[in-house]
Structure 1
Amino acid sequence: MAEKRWYPAKTQYCKHAGGEVQLEVHVVLPPEYLPDQPPHVVGHRCSHGLQCNLLTQPSCVWAGTNPAYDPFSEEE
């Protein structure tokens, strides 16, 4: 049976969160009898997204409140 898991992909300082956050990917792993199949990425999230959603201002695309701002795409 296929397995779904969240894996950390990147750790970065987020100005909006005021600390280190992780970008996580939701991966569907193939069943054991199909080992040559690659895993499928079905979603992304930020480890601090829930706390950012509680704020009154839109935060970023990973929190789901501001699709125009992606703090992980900026190189510092």
Structure 2
Amino acid sequence: MSARPDTPSTGRDDDDLSRRLGSAALQLLTVAEVCSLLSVSRWQVYRLINGRELGSVKIGRRRLVPRVDLDAFVDALRRRSEVA
């Protein structure tokens, strides 16, 4: 988000965007964040995404995982372990 040419930049563009989007901005996780949360490698996260076990979206060149998809994946793992 760029400032208007006649307005000096205050460095608050990110704050303004987060305020307007609400919590939606925080609901997209990077692959690195998913790796950390699941304690798995990047390769494993991409394998889950490519195998359509874990949902993702692409914005530009970035691959992001919606938090709801990560939660659904973990819930599915729990259900599988309860059945077994």
User: Structure 2 length as normaliser, TM-score?
Assistant: 0.27
Higher strand share: 1
Higher helix share: 2
